[in-house]
Amino acid sequence: MSEGYVECLVEAKDNALVKAGKGAAIVLCAIFGVFAILTGNFWIFVIAVIFGVLAYVASGYTSVEYEYLYLDRELTVDKVFNKSKRKRVGVYALDRIEVFAPIKSYHLDNFGKRNDKPIDYSIGFEDKPDLRYIMYYEGGKTFLLSPSPELVKAMKDQAPRKVFSD
pLDDT on residue 1? 40
The pLDDT value recorded for residue 3 is 61
Exposure of 152 by Cβ count < 10 A (0-12 exposed, 13-18 middle, 19+ buried)?
buried
Query: For the chain, what's the residue count?
Result: 166
- Residue 35, H or E segment: helix 16-39
Question: Residues 6 or more apart from 75 whose CB is under 8 A from it?
Answer: 68, 69, 91, 92, 94, 155
**Closest Cα partner for 76 from 87, 97, 65, 92?**
92
Residue 130 is predicted with a pLDDT of 81
Does the pTM surpass 0.85? The reply is: no
Query: Tens-of-pLDDT digits for all 166 residues of the chain?
Result: 446 789 999 988 877 888 888 899 999 999 999 999 999 899 999 999 999 999 988 887 778 899 999 998 899 999 998 888 899 999 999 999 999 999 888 888 887 677 778 888 988 887 778 888 999 998 788 999 999 999 999 999 988 898 998 8
